Structure 1
Amino acid sequence: MRQTTTRRTTLWSAMAIGGAALMGAAPAQAAPALGQTTVMTGLESPWDVAFLPDGTMFYTEKCRGLSVRLPSGDVNPLLGMSGAEGFPAAAGDLFCEGQAGMMGVELDPEFESNRFIYVYSTSNMTAPGENRLMRMVVNADLTGVSDRVDLIEGIPYKPKASDHPFGGPGAHNGGRVRFGPDGFLYLTTGDTHNGVVPQSPTMLGGKVLRIDRDGNPAPDNNAPDGFDPRIFTYGHRNVQGISFRPGTGQPVIIEHGPWHSDEVTALTAGGNGGWDPRPNMGGRGDCPDNYCGYSPNQMEGMDPAQRAAFMPMTDFATYPDAMPPAWNNNGLSQGSSSATFLTGAQWGDWEGRFAIGIMGIGFGGTPMGMRIDVVDIAEDGLSVNDVTTMELPTQGRFRSVRQGPDGALYAVVDEGDIYRIVPE
């Protein structure tokens, strides 16, 4: 049963880490004192949130659907997945499996006039399944949605029939949906454990897409000749975090690494992320199911530098003009998920920094390093000055972090909670 609570936790100060690991990094600055409340609990795999100016919060649950929490604390279910109960309407084609399901959600900047909401979900409308970006209209009393339009169809999905030796069905979908300050809608997608997808000019997985609210490509996406014009950047593994740098509006992503190297990268239109897990690239031979994204196995004893040299996240040898990452999580792969830039004087020295939710995936799925990192990205976007970790009173797989209209940071964890983190 979903509940809304106002449980107060203790205060804490964020703990500076990573300075020694960041050669030449500036000393960590003073972090603000923080407090935390639990906004919602008892959810089923919540995935993302989006806000109206009055604090109304729309949220998705991966295997249930779309709901809205009102400022009063009341919750209205809006649209259910296939088989979900307790919703006024259900979309029979939407389903969940593995990492796939109902994922990102975003509200139109002109919501008050057009009532548009955007949702990214897995659909079985075409076999064996695909991911779709949908636009719907929210009714005036926030009790339902209608007028579904599928803006982007055919985004790759990993079906159950796949015999890939790594990961299960529904893997690597990306899934974050955000409007940029340029007025265009950005969607991140994943490589679905398919070696040809990230560098493909026509397959929409392993990409960041940029469109208008009707699904048309942004005019200055600068995709290379022969590419789908909706592609803004390509050559990605599994981007689940995107936010826009205050002052410049430049999109910055956080991307899941393979056996190493979650990466923060500042994007440029038409840019290549440099991920290419195909066999016979960069001196590699054959790989299981034609996907070299986990070769060699991290548990074979190589250190992070050796692994990265063999299967780099950003393959500069093959793609010398690839977009360079600013940070690689100290050569670790820990399931870095969502991210948002912190804004407002209430954040003190953290104002303008990049807050990253990390799910903390370890070997064999063992939890490790679940946290929120606060990253000070250099002005040129090519390095970082400092990385600080929030010392939180609770742990969880931080699936989504997003700043609300009240200036607080809202953190969504897979275990079923949504927290509100605020400087005090």
Structure 2
Amino acid sequence: MGALTRRRVLAATGYSVALAGCLLGSNSAVDELTVPETTPDDDWSEPEWRPAEGVPSEDDVTPTTAVTGLEIPWDLVFAADNAFLTERDGGVRRFDATALATESDLSPDDGEVILEADTLPDRSAPGEGGTLGIAAHPEYPDRAELFVYYTTDDGAVGNRVVSYDLESGTLEPLLEGIPGATTHNGGRITFGPEGYLWVLTGDAEDPALTQDPGARGGAVLRLTPDGEPAPDNPDWGSDSDGRIYTLGHRNPQGIAFTPQGTPVLAEHGPTSRDEVSILRPGGNYGWDLVRGGPDDPEYGSYDEYDDATPPIVNTGPETTWAPSGVAFYTDDSIAPWANRVLVCGLRSNALYVLTLLPAGEGLEDGAEPDDETAVRDEAPWLDDRFSTTVHTLLEGEYGRLRHVEPGPDGSLYLLTSNRDGRARGAFPGADDDRIIRLDPSAGSTG
């Protein structure tokens, strides 16, 4: 991959503090980046979709607390009439999807624990570990099967993906041997447009793992619902794990897909330097050799390494998002937010709304209002396929935001993470942790 001409986007937050739990590694653990031996075609084409006109605003939504009193909720997935929720220090809880969409101030007991924490073999919850990602089989409810990513300790800390058959109660390992540690466990899982399961893993505090295609750490994995490598994955060599789609990630915790099926990833950076990337098959995202532009005092620049795939957003060494869950909102119920990327911020206590346009197209009118809710900038070292504008919404309203999930009704559901020991100021509140439902405001519907 040759050097690219790219655009830079910096977030509109004022934070310059270190990201809790993330270590600055100024001495790289690797000397060069790993590239696959063969790579499938990127299939990149200019998207037919475009973001909605206008400027996304907090006035477009009406917030309602749907559930209170949760214990560090981590992931949420809707399937048929159900909503399945993981709690980091617990198991899996099921709510009625209609109740979440219509009621307020539900308690955890209004749901049902369908998988207790102690029924997950070897489960452990060190630091940031525990019961993390959840996904429902694409054919649910015909295949009443859930997939859960959780942290294990069988003498050494690791992570595991299991499948759970809701009808038989059978729990089966799907993928083991994922590196784990007190921090940097990754943990998000989801099914993509082609019915493959995408699994995000962290570097488990060992950056060298991110350049080892046999280690399953610091990677994005793509596998079949039976745990086998997706058939058209990149080939990383004879000793590699065939499930690996991309390498060079530090601690990715969010993934979503554009209407054309292109994956969008968010990951935590070292002392800021958080990133959002458009994934390319066989891409190497640079950790921990490359992590910024030519003005970064600690890390190599993307424009100096042809084998590194650049992100579309890098917050730089002075600004922290601490990004977690991601959604690509395709519904027109909240019309001004349609076809935009939503990224949850933990340390920044904010929801970021990213507007993507093919490079060379003008940004929407009013993209940079006087109140500086939107930011864009020029830099030649970022991914040049899109120009990107970032709006910062709900800053400080609900504390740490772990995930955002579109519901079947067109509303959005935010998970707070204020009881994980890292909240500040007014948080945690008496009702934390919560599920916040964002309904369309009058006048914002399509």
TM range (shorter): 0.7 to 0.9
Provide the residue aligned with 1:118 in structure 2: 147
Cα deviation code 1:276-328 (max 9, x no counterpart): 25xxxx8xxxxxxxxxx9xxxxxxxxxx968734225x7553x4132211111
Structure 1 counterpart of 2:221, one-letter code: L
Provide the residue aligned with 2:436 in structure 1: 419
Provide the residue aligned with 1:273 in structure 2: 285
Cα deviation code 1:97-122 (max 9, x no counterpart): 10000000011110111111000001
Take 2:331 and 2:440, find their aligned partners in 1: how far apart are those partners?
11
Q: Determine whether 1:406 maps to 2:409.
A: yes
Take 1:99 and 1:316, find their aligned partners in 2: how far apart are those partners?
33
The change in CA–CA distance for 1:315 and 1:150 in structure 2 (over 3 A counts) is farther
Q: TM-score, normalised to structure 2's length?
A: 0.72
Structure 2 counterpart of 1:94, one-letter code: R
Counterparts of 1:58-97 in structure 2, within 5 Å, are: 58-70=84-96, 71-72=98-99, 74-82=110-118, 90-97=119-126
Cα deviation code 1:136-167 (max 9, x no counterpart): 1113xxxxx72111111010012xxxxxxxxx
Take 2:326 and 2:199, find their aligned partners in 1: how far apart are those partners?
14
Contact 1:176–1:240 (Cα < 8 Å) also in 2: yes
Cα drift, residue 343 of structure 1: 1.3
Q: Determine whether 1:204 maps to 2:231.
A: no
Cα drift, residue 182 of structure 1: 1.3
Contact 2:222–2:229 (Cα < 8 Å) also in 1: yes
Provide the residue aligned with 2:232 in structure 1: 220
Provide the residue aligned with 2:83 in structure 1: 57
Structure 2 counterpart of 1:243, one-letter code: A
Q: Determine whether 1:132 maps to 2:177.
A: no
Cα drift, residue 401 of structure 1: 0.9
The share of aligned pairs that are identical, in percent, is 34
Out of 174, 178, 182, the position equivalent to 1:155 is 178
SS of the residue corresponding to residue 207 of structure 2 reads coil
Contact 1:185–1:213 (Cα < 8 Å) also in 2: yes
Take 2:296 and 2:267, find their aligned partners in 1: how far apart are those partners?
15
Provide the residue aligned with 1:352 in structure 2: 339
Take 2:147 and 2:399, find their aligned partners in 1: how far apart are those partners?
26
Provide the residue aligned with 2:324 in structure 1: 337
Provide the residue aligned with 1:47 in structure 2: 74
Take 1:37 and 1:384, find their aligned partners in 2: how far apart are those partners?
33
Matched residue count: 342
Out of 22, 29, 35, the position equivalent to 2:62 is 35
Q: What stretches of structure 1 of length at least 5 have no aligned partner?
A: 1-16, 20-26, 83-89, 140-144, 159-169, 283-292, 294-303, 361-368
Q: TM-score, normalised to structure 1's length?
A: 0.75
Take 1:321 and 1:97, find their aligned partners in 2: how far apart are those partners?
34
Take 2:402 and 2:55, find their aligned partners in 1: how far apart are those partners?
26
SS of the residue corresponding to residue 349 of structure 1 reads helix
Provide the residue aligned with 2:357 in structure 1: 378
Contact 1:28–1:386 (Cα < 8 Å) also in 2: no
Cα drift, residue 393 of structure 1: 7.7
Cα drift, residue 330 of structure 1: 5.1
Q: What stretches of structure 2 of length at least 5 have no aligned partner?
A: 1-10, 14-52, 100-105, 360-382, 419-432, 442-446
Q: Determine whether 1:98 maps to 2:127.
A: yes
The change in CA–CA distance for 1:148 and 1:92 in structure 2 (over 3 A counts) is closer
Structure 1 counterpart of 2:322, one-letter code: G
Take 2:69 and 2:399, find their aligned partners in 1: how far apart are those partners?
13
Take 2:272 and 2:393, find their aligned partners in 1: how far apart are those partners?
22
Take 1:61 and 1:210, find their aligned partners in 2: how far apart are those partners?
24
| RMSD of aligned alpha carbons | 2.5
SS of the residue corresponding to residue 325 of structure 1 reads coil
Structure 2 counterpart of 1:267, one-letter code: L
Counterparts of 1:245-324 in structure 2, within 5 Å, are: 245-246=258-259, 248-276=260-288, 308-312=296-300, 315-317=302-304, 319-324=305-310
SS of the residue corresponding to residue 345 of structure 1 reads coil
Contact 1:18–1:386 (Cα < 8 Å) also in 2: no
Cα deviation code 1:360-397 (max 9, x no counterpart): 1xxxxxxxx21001001233563443211223683221
SS of the residue corresponding to residue 135 of structure 1 reads strand
Higher relative contact order (CA 8 A, sep 6+): 2
